[in-house]
Structure formats: C-alpha cells, structure tokens
Structure 1
Amino acid sequence: MENNKNPNIRFKGFTDPWEQRKFTDITFLSGEKNKDNLPYESYSVTNENGFVPQNEQFENGGTMATADKRMYYIVSKNSFAYNPARINVGSIGYYDGPENVIVSSLYEVFKTSEDIDDRYLWHWFKSNNFKKLIEQYQEGGVRLYFYYDKLCMCSLPTPSIQEQIKIGRYFDNLDNLITIHQRKYNKLLNVKKSMLEKMFPKNGSNIPEIRFKGFTDPWEQRKLGDIITEYKETVDSDCTLPILTSSKTEGVILQEEHFGRKQQHDITGYNILPRNYCTYRNRSDGVDFTFNINKCSDKGIISKFYPVFSGKNSDVFFLSLVLNNSEEVVREIAYTCTGTGQKVLSFLDLQKIKVRVPNFDEQKEIAAYFDSFDHLITLHQRELEKLQNIKKSMLEKMFV
C-alpha cells in the first residue's frame, strides 16, 4: 500500500487515493423516541443476523412485548443500529425494511450522508479495521461500551462513491453465495438427521420406519462383543506414521490439522489405526462418546486412549452409525461407562453393549447410503469454508 491510501486489491479503472472521512461528517443520529407509544414491531440486533424481530428471537416476545415503548427509538428505512455494550462482538444491524420498527433506548441509531454507500459501510463494519477502532475507543469498567460519540472520533477510509458501490455490491454477492451454500449445507444435515431417525428402529422396535427395497426381516439384538473385534498393534518412539486424532466435529483427522501445529510428545504405545477401522476416545467429560472411521490415512497412529476395532461378520461403518445415533444404544453407553469425574468406556465394557442389527447385506446398503451422504455434506462444507475464507481475505485486501 502507498502511504496507507490505497488497498491491495481494487476494481479496474479506479486509481485515486482513498480519503479519511470522520464519522461525524458522514453520519448523523436518526433515532427518534416513540413518544406517542405507537405499536411498531419490536426488534433486536444480533451479531449473526443483524435486525431480528423480538418475537422470533424470544419465545415470549422478549422484555419489550408488554413494555411501555415511548422511550424506545424508532428505526426507519436505511438506518444502522447497535448496542454499545455488544458492538465488540459484531452486533450491528442495517435496516432496509419498508415499515418503521423500534429498538431499545440502549441502542445507537444513525444514518449516513449521501456521499457514503450504505452497503460499503456495512461491510467495512465487518472488517478487522473497525474491530481495532472499537478496541481503541471503547470505555468502561467491567463492561466496555462504544457509544456513538466514540464512533464520531473515528475516521473511515473512503474511495469515490462509484468505487464504494462496486465494493458494496461485490460483498453483497459474496454474502448471497455464502447464504445459498449455508442453506444447502444445513438442509443436507437436516435430511441426514431425519433419515438416521427413520432408518433405525426406535422404542424397542425391531423394524425401522424406512428400509431399502427387498429387506423385510426383523433386526436382531446382538452383543457388540460378537460382531466387533479389537485391532491391537502398538508402535515405539521411532514410528514415522502420521499421528491422528478423532473428534465429534471433525471425525478422524491429522493431529496437526486439529491443533493447527505439530504436537511434540512421546508416541510410544500409540495404537495403529488402519484405514476404514473405527476408533473412539475411551474417556469423556460426560457420557458423550463419539465413534469415527479412519477415512483420512491408509495407516496412522493414535493415542492409547483410543481403542481400534473392525467388524466381525458385520459392517463397521454401519456399527459406527448405530453407536453414534441409536438413542437406545446411547442410553446403554451412558449406563455402562464408569468413573465419577471423567467417564471411561473401556473396550471390554463396550463389547457388553447390545445393539439391534439387520443382516449383513442390509448393513452394507445403509452404510453406503450414509457414506455417500457424508461425502456430499463434506463437499458443501468445503465450498462454504472456501467462500468464507475468500470473504475474510477480501475484507482485509479491499479496504485500507
């Protein structure tokens, strides 16, 4: 950057240096008290969704549902609003609805002058540049505040209005893409959750609600010790296989990816975890144990606190689904694990647990279905993360 007056990335055709504009020159307080106690809809501002109707955010409509609203601020179209005590976590909103609404008198409500594009300013508020100004000017003791008068002490780097509009539209389009992929991702998660409920028997039944064509036999209750087998092979300190770990959100993953750096510790006694074998951490702060399949490495090693097992005349992918999602099995695991602080589920105790299973062919069909579903979910998750990373990078590079 040249004297901090130009961003790293600009749209073609824009070369003029950016100017610093004080907020006191480009914004003005616009909230008016609802002195006639008009029945406008009550809104809050959240860091995730901006303006949100209080009756959607709170089951009972929130504190404003029955309150005297004469002291609250009226928010009209094209207004910004934020709570001075929560702006540090990103709770700022932009209202562009057609009807006036109201917010608590705790909020700061303001609009912009004509030479500032609201969408440009909105995205700048989401950048690290604004976060740094908040940290610099907020005040208070136990709770910190960033009032409008502090905002007016700050300056905003601005290009021409034409370039502002370009930048605002670019980030609006990027946000739309992110929203589309987020919805697709959430929809896939919900469909998977629904199918997990319907494709496994419930409430002691031995027949699920939904089955693949051709399968009609009732599921049988089997002891896990009869259908799984432990894989026990340990390593010494000279082993060079990749170190793995397993978590509820990430599955089996390289340890350095999970922690963001390589861990330095003695690996003597670590268990070998081959591809397509199952593992779980045998101790938990609660009764929540997660069973994951190694899909990330042909052969890795994992802490001795992670037993490794495969299926015996059964499909281990299917069994991991049962262990993670069957309410009946999850309850039995909770009863079986031991310990007063951390709960421990030894492999010996795991083998005592009973599960309901169909025949081997149906197990494979169910496992293949959810494996392909997980693959689709992962693709959408990666695309979503890619877009989010692009936005984060461009917020740094397109603003001064």
Structure 2
Amino acid sequence: MKNKPRIRFKGFAEDWEQRKLGDIATFSKGNGYSKSDLASSGDPIILYGRLYTNYETTISNVDTFVELKDKSIISQGGEVIVPASGETAEDISRASVVKNQGIIIGGDLNVIKANHLLDPTFLALTISNGEQQKELSKRAQGKSVVHLHNSDLQEVNLTFPLLNEQKEISTLFEKMDNIITLHQRKLEKLKLVKKALLQKLFPKNGSQFPEIRFKGFTDTWEQRKLTYIFNDFIVPMRDKPKVFSGTTPWTRIEDIEGRYINTSLSGRFVSDETIKSMNLKVIPKGSLIVSASATFGVVAIVNNDLITNQTFIGLVPNKDFDIDFLYSLFEAPTTKNKLLKLSAGSTIFYIARESFENLVLSVPSKVEQIKISKIFKSIDNSITLHQRKLDKLQDVKKGLLQKMFV
C-alpha cells in the first residue's frame, strides 16, 4: 500500500516518507512552573493545562504570566509541545506549535524541535490527528494519570511529504483555524450581549421595574403567581415506555436546540395505545418545559405535542402571555435564582409542582412582553446561525484532518 493521503493539493503525487521522529528532531522538557506561579503581569508562559482547556494547533497569543526564574526553558519559535501527563491517553496525544520566541515553556511539557525536513505546524497536526496520534495513545502509560515521555515520542513512526507540501497543508489548517476562531468570538460576543440583556430587561432585587425599557413603557410590572400565568402544570410519569412505535415524540434534554426542541433527534415515538395504557402525560404544543431536577433550570418551547420524562415539568400558558416572553423570563437570572432557592437537595436539585405553582414572578403587559420577546428571538436566531456555521466549519476541518494525513 502506498503512503499517500486520500486528498492532496494539485501537483503533489510522490509517496510520503516514513522515519522515526527521533531521527529528525531533538527533544527537551519544559520545567519550573505550575499554576501557583501565575501572576497578573510578567513574562509570558505556556502551562501544560492550556493544551486541555484552550487547545490550539498554533499558539500565537499568550495571556498567562509569571516572574522569570533561573534555568527557564524559553522558546526560540517553532517548538512543538506535547503534554507529558494527562487523565487519558487521548488527552496527551496532542501537540501545539509555539509560534513566537520569548515564551516560557512550563513543566510537564515535552518539547520537540524539528529539523529542516519538517514544518512545525505540520508536525503538530499529524501528531494530533494522523496515525501518530493512535500510536502515541498506545504508548501512553499509567492508570489514574497517564504519562508520555520523550523516549515515547522518539520512537513514533512519522509519515510525511516533502516540505513544500507540508507547508501547503499547514497553511490550509491555519486559515481554517483563524476562520473558526473568528466565528467563535462572534458567537461568544452574542452570548454576552444576551446575558447582559437578560439581566437588564427583567426586574431584579425585588424591583417592579427593569433597569432598561423600550420607549413608551412606564407601567409597573405586576407580581403574579405561576398559577395565574399558566393554566396547567404537567408532571410527567416516572415510567418510561418499553416500546417506541407511534407518532408522539419522546423527548430528552439532549433534544433541546436553542429555544426549541428537535423532536427528531431521539428518534423515539410513542403510540396512542401506549399513552392510554400507561396514562402518560402529553405536553401540548405551545407550552414550556422547564427542568425541575438533574440538569437544573433548562427551558424550551414545545413546538409539537410530546412526552418527556420526570426531569421536566410542563407549563401550559394562558392566552394573556406571550410564549417567547415566558421562555426569556425563565432564562433570566432573577427567575433562575428564585427556582434555585425553591429547590430541594444538595447534589441533585428538585422542585416540586407545588413550589412551581406558588412561585411569584414580575410580568409586564402583553404588548411589552412581545417587544421584549422579539429582541431575544432575534439574538437567539443569530446565535443559532453562528453556531451552525461554526459546527459546519469544524465538521469540514475534521473531515480534512481524516483525509489529508496518512
């Protein structure tokens, strides 16, 4: 079998070469620093935890600092770093390039300096995604904490093309990472805007007025029990159907996408006969479901009649209330804090139906409700759009990583 990837840039046809990494690179270790050494300013440093919490193929911007110690390992630019320990073999079978010089390399990091045959970014990519990733996972040793040594890295069989093809591959993935990062930042910015508006467009700390309002609205928000806002409170049965064949969807918390429920995700549907025989509770379209236990405080709008488990309680609103406003009301921190105070339990929260019924929330007129709901629907639509773009980009990148390496 020839050493060629499934997808290549035009003009490249040669077989890829295979060599032991130890023959074409030198190895060292970072040292001397841990999280306790971090300071608000000083010399920039990369600690091994960054490769888990904020993984990037190429590290250009460093926002963690320490006071420089003697005998520190400082980058010259182009080093490839690999964690020396982690919780699983897959965790530590990843690599990043330290792009710039003058960066301190902290302890528990293996440091690889490639020779003239290898592009550093290509090396980091293939260690993290090619056959080398599988080989390193097998070499990682340990039980509760697994370890990977430079001696393990030296024995890796690296398959690689000529340098100019490596650089083409590296440039492609660096551009993709830049685009993905841009979408991630836009998504995070939208989420921060929504978070701020959820705090400011709903009253808090016992007030009957929100911090900011739309022009023309000055009336006091009214205090209302949920029994006034909702006509019915539906507590699902604990029993789960044994047979799934019918037309009414069975919904789990994993099926929530944004503000709505994707009833096709679980692929489970219940027949009318099963609903009748088990006396299952159907939550009608146009209701809210709010998680009352386990993953606490999740809320979604019911866009099809459905059945769910006891994680949720179904809330059927009366006609004087806008369902999209009620969704945002339950997302607001002031409501979530009230629910949290009502919950029982230490590690797993639970709110009884009676507690929901007696909960008091502040609500405005329906006209103002609709004004508020429109702005949050617009933001949520933008968040969903950016999330889909981001997911698609990440899927494209994942597919290329699988097909552009041997």
Shift in CA distance, 76/219, structure 1 to aligned 2, threshold 3 Å? same
Q: TM-score, normalised by structure 2?
A: 0.82
Q: What corresponds to 1:96 in structure 2? A: 99
1:121-136 aligned at under 5 Å gives the runs 121-136=123-138
| 1:306 aligned partner, one-letter code | F
1:158-177 aligned at under 5 Å gives the runs 158-177=160-179
Shift in CA distance, 73/305, structure 1 to aligned 2, threshold 3 Å? closer
Q: What corresponds to 2:247 in structure 1? A: 240
How far has the Cα of 1:299 moved from its partner? 3.1
| 1:166 aligned partner, one-letter code | E
The answer to whether residue 149 in structure 2 is matched with residue 147 in structure 1 is: yes
Q: What corresponds to 1:270 in structure 2? A: 280
The answer to whether residue 74 in structure 2 is matched with residue 74 in structure 1 is: yes
Checking the alignment, whether the CA contact within 8 Å between 1:231 and 1:308 is kept in structure 2 is yes
The answer to whether residue 223 in structure 2 is matched with residue 221 in structure 1 is: yes
User: What is the rounded CA distance, in whole Å, between the counterparts of 1:387 and 1:399 in structure 2?
Assistant: 18
Shift in CA distance, 53/72, structure 1 to aligned 2, threshold 3 Å? farther
Checking the alignment, whether the CA contact within 8 Å between 2:43 and 2:67 is kept in structure 1 is no
How far has the Cα of 1:53 moved from its partner? 8.4
Q: What corresponds to 2:292 in structure 1? A: 282
| 1:357 aligned partner, one-letter code | V
User: What is the rounded CA distance, in whole Å, between the counterparts of 2:144 and 2:343 in structure 1?
Assistant: 42
Query: Residue deviations 1:90-142, cap 9 Å, x none?
Result: 56331222x42322354322211112122222222321533311122223465
SS in 2 for 1:272: coil
1:44-55 aligned at under 5 Å gives the runs 44-45=47-48, 46-47=50-51, 48-49=54-55
How far has the Cα of 1:376 moved from its partner? 1.0
Give 1:291's match in structure 2, choosing from 276, 293, 299: 299
The answer to whether residue 265 in structure 2 is matched with residue 257 in structure 1 is: yes
Unmatched segments (≥5 aa) in structure 1? none
Q: What corresponds to 1:316 in structure 2? A: 323
Checking the alignment, whether the CA contact within 8 Å between 2:250 and 2:270 is kept in structure 1 is no
Shift in CA distance, 398/262, structure 1 to aligned 2, threshold 3 Å? farther
Q: What corresponds to 2:394 in structure 1? A: 388
Q: What corresponds to 1:370 in structure 2? A: 376
Query: Residue deviations 1:262-311, cap 9 Å, x none?
Result: 599976333333433211233337xx33221124xx33332365332232
Q: TM-score, normalised by structure 1?
A: 0.83
Moved more, 164-173 or 318-327: 318-327
| 1:92 aligned partner, one-letter code | A
Q: What corresponds to 1:112 in structure 2? A: 114
User: What is the rounded CA distance, in whole Å, between the counterparts of 1:354 and 1:32 in structure 2?
Assistant: 57
| 1:323 aligned partner, one-letter code | F
Checking the alignment, whether the CA contact within 8 Å between 2:30 and 2:106 is kept in structure 1 is no
Number of equivalent positions: 378
Give 1:208's match in structure 2, choosing from 191, 207, 210: 210
Shift in CA distance, 176/42, structure 1 to aligned 2, threshold 3 Å? closer
Moved more, 87-96 or 13-22: 87-96
How far has the Cα of 1:21 moved from its partner? 2.1
Give 2:403's match in structure 1, choosing from 371, 375, 397: 397
Checking the alignment, whether the CA contact within 8 Å between 1:31 and 1:74 is kept in structure 2 is no
Unmatched segments (≥5 aa) in structure 2? 33-41
How far has the Cα of 1:82 moved from its partner? 2.9
Aligned identity (percent) is 28
Checking the alignment, whether the CA contact within 8 Å between 1:72 and 1:105 is kept in structure 2 is no
Query: Residue deviations 1:70-98, cap 9 Å, x none?
Result: 3432221111223311484256331222x
SS in 1 for 2:138: helix
Checking the alignment, whether the CA contact within 8 Å between 2:30 and 2:107 is kept in structure 1 is no
User: What is the rounded CA distance, in whole Å, between the counterparts of 1:263 and 1:19 in structure 2?
Assistant: 53
Checking the alignment, whether the CA contact within 8 Å between 1:224 and 1:353 is kept in structure 2 is yes
| 1:257 aligned partner, one-letter code | L
How far has the Cα of 1:20 moved from its partner? 0.9
User: What is the rounded CA distance, in whole Å, between the counterparts of 1:176 and 1:322 in structure 2?
Assistant: 36
Give 1:306's match in structure 2, choosing from 312, 328, 343: 312
User: What is the rounded CA distance, in whole Å, between the counterparts of 2:143 and 2:252 in structure 1?
Assistant: 42
Shift in CA distance, 256/129, structure 1 to aligned 2, threshold 3 Å? farther
How far has the Cα of 1:360 moved from its partner? 0.8
Shift in CA distance, 49/304, structure 1 to aligned 2, threshold 3 Å? closer
Checking the alignment, whether the CA contact within 8 Å between 2:47 and 2:107 is kept in structure 1 is no
Shift in CA distance, 222/247, structure 1 to aligned 2, threshold 3 Å? farther
